Structure 1
């Protein structure tokens, strides 16, 4: 991989990481907001809370997948060096 390609890849990786982190933080805030405004007897509130939980779960999964990809990439690079 050329230095230019490597720097473009790293910039893209950093931008992706910032976007994933931002999305995760936003979904956590939305989940907190839904939990605080939850009326136990309102089906609409339960639906909003359930939706916020699903979105938070998806954002968490995406962040974890990014970590797994970086780990596997680093592992592959180390194995190639050996």
Structure 2
């Protein structure tokens, strides 16, 4: 779960800062990631979407095909033997 806060504009900075600090305090207590973005600034949206996708599809450390890892180990051993 993550919280995305949309910055609108510089209408009332003090009210925006107060709301933002309340949101980030709540998120830290609940151990949830908090992002401040602007819908008008596309680059600010990248980080929350990257975070969300890495949580949904974690990077695999091991191959799903153990035969391939065994084959690559054998190939590496053969290459080392030829280099010596």
Task: State the TM-score, normalized to the length of structure 1.
Answer: 0.31
Higher relative helix content = 1
Higher relative strand content = 2
Task: State the TM-score, normalized to the length of structure 2.
Answer: 0.30
Higher Cα Rg: structure 1 or 2? Answer: 2
